[in-house]
Amino acid sequence: MFIIDSHCHAGKGDGLTGPWDTNASLTKYLQRAKEAGIDKTVIFPPIHSNYAQANRALANIIQKQPRHFFGYAFVNAAKNKGQILQMVRLAVRQYGFCGIKLHRYDARISREVCETAKVLVLPVLYDVLGEIQSIELFAKAYPQVNFIIPHLGSFADDWKAQSAFIDKLVKFPNIYTDTSAVKRFDLLEEAIQRAGAKKVLFGSDGPWLHPGLELEKIFLLKLSPSEEALVLGGNFLRLANKQ
Ligand SMILES: [Zn+2]
């Protein structure tokens, strides 16, 4: 079975606020991923004050081991306003990246980000930081764009947000999620049962979380082989136009 970890950070941040904007070294990650049987990993920078620079650094990491990685371009919807299409297009054409990543920690998603995704036909991995209501707005406004909302909507393990998120996952055909950092196993099970395995992507949130530990959650879901194959890579390949 071919396994793709669809959520991992790589490179250095410049914030020094916490691990998320300081350092995402892949040294331990790659060993752990190899031991766990993970074949390929989708990487994007940690939180950074200059994403043009961070994306370039990510491209260098990928270039050294191109068979290991897919890349997403990180953007700040507020700070990079007016430059998003240009930034992402460069990342796709020059670096071979295949998705857009953004985080509400930096700024809320904007029409400019969604338009860019629509024009370049890229999935958008957007951490809503628990703000579930907003999903309805962009899911409806951009039905052609596929949005992956990581952590069932809340890395902070906010049960209310994650429960409310599952309703959106069921309701909107263009809303997807990843399994990274989700602690409440029953919610993962519910997401797959109600929305279907085609809406859920395996992700680890490495290198800060252990990819083998995160992968074990997928096996514990005891899915059928075809459903498991979707979660472990098929969904990512379809969304990133790699099939
Ligand atoms: Zn992450």
82 CA → ligand 1 middle, Å: 25
122 contact partners, CB below 8 Å, separation of at least 6: 88, 92, 98, 99, 100, 116, 240
3-state secondary structure 61-108: HHHHCCCCEEECEECCCCCCCCCHHHHHHHHHHHHCCCCEEEECCCCC
d(CA 108, CA 128): 8
23 CA → ligand 1 middle, Å: 12
Kindly report whether the global pTM for this prediction surpasses the value 0.85: yes
Q: Return the CATH fold of 4-239.
A: TIM Barrel (3.20.20)
Closest CA to 54 of 94, 3, 14: 14
137 CA → ligand 1 middle, Å: 23
Domain boundaries, the chain: 4-239
**Per residue in 41-84, pLDDT tens?**
999 999 999 999 999 999 999 999 999 999 999 999 999 999 99
27 contact partners, CB below 8 Å, separation of at least 6: none
Closest CA to 55 of 104, 12, 107: 12
114 CA → ligand 1 middle, Å: 20
Average pLDDT over residues 201-212: 98
**Per residue in 149-206, pLDDT tens?**
999 999 999 999 999 999 999 999 999 999 999 999 999 999 999 999 999 999 999 9
9 CA → ligand 1 middle, Å: 6
β partners of residue 101: 74, 125
**216, exposed or middle or buried, with CB in 10 Å at 0-12, 13-18, 19+?**
exposed
127 CA → ligand 1 middle, Å: 8
93 CA → ligand 1 middle, Å: 24
**Per residue in 75-114, pLDDT tens?**
999 999 999 999 999 999 999 999 999 999 999 999 999 9
222 CA → ligand 1 middle, Å: 25
